[in-house]
Structure 1
Amino acid sequence: MAMKIFCENTPLTDNDCFVIFSREKSCFDFPLHTHKELELNLVLNGAGASRVIGNHMGTIGDAELVFVNGETPHAWFTDGCRSQRIQEVTLQFAPDLIDDKLLNRNSLTALKRLFEESRRGVLFTEQTALEVAPALRRIYERGSAGGMQPLLDVLAVFNTLSFASERKLLSDLTFVQEKDMSYSQRLETVFAYMNRNFSRQISLRDVAETVNMSEVSFSRFIKKATGQNFIDTLAEIRLGHVSRMLIDTDMTIAEIAFCCGFNNMANFNRIFKRKKGMPPHRFRTLYINKKIYV
């Protein structure tokens, strides 16, 4: 039976700029889900709980702030959290609240980049989470107030977040739609080639030739575009396909590894554990246990 993820219908209407919730609870009880809105989620006093964003899984600390495009599967789970007073503030808004024409203006370059990164899920530092927490509480308190001030407060929060240099992208490149992550036609071509050929051995020269670049120039290009060298970028793309197959198929781990271009199981297991923080069999078990059937 194919496993699907719960699709949430949020209360946001076409006439709303955003919707915000604030709650105190003792556990996380919402399943792994998607929705069309972008979401900023703040969790305080939830140390030991776990987050799932795309094919990323991790344990959270005392202050957690994540920005995620709702189309990427996401959820938080109680797991090792023992707090009886978890505080959570969730802000959701439609992708067209700030349209592409405005995002393409020079002064909004940093914000555009943040919105693009949200498909992979963006984790901010605890310091940043604590910095914006009071502003999010004020937005919640003013939520029903008239005028533009609540919206201006939201924009101020995202202005702060767009310039937060210490942030981490969570899900792999290939677990989300790369076309939305591409910053140029050239990068889109590169991703398309690597996704078509990830199952076979491909070289730096092979990929560089698809965009008519020398190997040296291409190495600089891919490093600037992804923050990683070619080998690590290719490995991440392959791991994205591995993760999807671990979740969606009954193939053995060895079969999946070889199908995704890993010809050495010891090397595959080492890379997977380094990237995911756990071996592939544990990833498969944990992820599937957090899914629901619909």
Structure 2
Amino acid sequence: MAATARSTTPEDITSPVRELVIPDPSSSVRWHEHDWPHPLARWHYHPEVEVHLIRESSGTVMAGDWAGPFGPGHLSLMGSFLPHNWISHRDDSAVVRNRDAVLQFDQERFFAAAGTLPELEALRPLLEAAARGIEFTGRTAVQGAAAMEAVNGTFGLRRLATVAELLAVLAESPESERRYLDSRGGTYRLDASEAEVFNRALGYITEHLEGRMLVPEVAEAVGLSRDAFSRLFAKATGVGFNRTVTRMRLTEACRLLRGTDLPVSDICYRVGFTNLSNFNRHFRATTGTTPSRYRRIDQL
């Protein structure tokens, strides 16, 4: 199988970090869907908690200092003010229709309502854990995706009931079907100009992933000094430039291992590693297994 081409357009990489979520006066939640690329599909944050379902395509999900792979059926919960983005790997001409289904709500309204509706207290541990971002797997992901789709087209009490069912599935999920993403669980606040520069940097890295990646080169590409760029990247990701680039390279390697028949050695150099032993060491440290075994497990 041939490797899939990958590209990032200007629309992918320029955006203020703060997304303004317009509340629906007739509902306590906001449900919508959108294509990819789309103005909403960027590195951003908002005060609202977000349940996010990816219906089609695969790529890289970023949440705080986390970067990892996603595919169809990827279900996650992003906490208040946790920056996040899903970057699909695609051909230049491809548009993924209705890739994303999104449910957003103000967690403080739910906490306040728990004063008179004590059943809502069961959501508190889930929403507090969402500060790190949670990726759901297994049965929870399947049931949660179905519950997420059921919200679409509902109104009034029916919508409230379907949202309650979705949140119950997530709140009752076992730890074995949760992956906590961001290591800090803190706030990442970039102003609009910082976010615009950071998004341009991500776009540059994505375009040049298989080449040698140096801080001065990327800093120059986005118009910053080396020191200013390093400070910005640490503020935005919590782990800095080198670890973020390594994670993005490993995420792309996982995609190629799953979706192509390229030899492991070819994938190593294609994603920017300069020698196979270094690639294998980083891959094992991140995934817990070797590239060859990762491919065999995925094919089972």
TM-score between the two structures when normalised by the length of structure 2: 0.52
Structure 1 residue 168: Cα displacement: 1.0
Q: How many equivalent pairs are there?
A: 190
Aligned residues: percent identity?
21
The residue that corresponds to 1:153 in the other structure is 162
Matched, 1:60 2:70: yes
Letter in 1 for 2:234: M
Contact in 2 for aligned 1:45/1:87 (Cα 8 Å): yes
- The DSSP-based 3-state class of the residue aligned with 1:8 is coil
- Once the two structures are superposed, the pairs formed by residues 211-226 of structure 1 within 5 Å of their partners are none
Letter in 1 for 2:61: R
Offset from partner CA, 1:98-152 (integer Å, 9 cap, x none): 125727987555421110011100110154232233332221111xx3x312112
Of the two structures, which has the highest relative contact order with CA contacts closer than 8 Å and spacing of 6 or more?
2
Offset from partner CA, 1:29-83 (integer Å, 9 cap, x none): 5221111111100111222x11111111111022101111241111111235878
Matched, 1:18 2:7: no
Contact in 2 for aligned 1:55/1:175 (Cα 8 Å): no
Structure 1 residue 243: Cα displacement: 10
Further displaced range: 106-115 or 29-38: 106-115
Equivalent-residue separation in structure 2 for 1:14 and 1:86 (angstroms)? 24
Q: Which sections of structure 2, spanning at least 5 residues, go unmatched?
A: 1-13, 189-230, 243-280, 289-300
Equivalent-residue separation in structure 2 for 1:100 and 1:117 (angstroms)? 18
Equivalent-residue separation in structure 2 for 1:19 and 1:174 (angstroms)? 24
- Once the two structures are superposed, the pairs formed by residues 58-137 of structure 1 within 5 Å of their partners are 58-79=68-89, 84-85=96-97, 87-100=99-112, 102=114, 108=120, 110-137=122-149
Change in 2 beyond 3 A, CA 1:80/1:56: farther
Matched, 1:140 2:145: no
Letter in 1 for 2:148: L
The residue that corresponds to 2:171 in the other structure is 162
Equivalent-residue separation in structure 1 for 2:161 and 2:141 (angstroms)? 19
TM-score between the two structures when normalised by the length of structure 1: 0.53
Q: Which sections of structure 1, spanning at least 5 residues, go unmatched?
A: 178-241, 254-269, 278-294
Offset from partner CA, 1:157-188 (integer Å, 9 cap, x none): 101110111111100135449xxxxxxxxxxx
- The DSSP-based 3-state class of the residue aligned with 1:33 is coil
Contact in 1 for aligned 2:49/2:104 (Cα 8 Å): yes
- The DSSP-based 3-state class of the residue aligned with 2:85 is strand
- The DSSP-based 3-state class of the residue aligned with 2:22 is coil
- The DSSP-based 3-state class of the residue aligned with 1:173 is coil
Offset from partner CA, 1:210-264 (integer Å, 9 cap, x none): xxxxxxxxxxxxxxxxxxxxxxxxxxxxxxxx99637589x997xxxxxxxxxxx
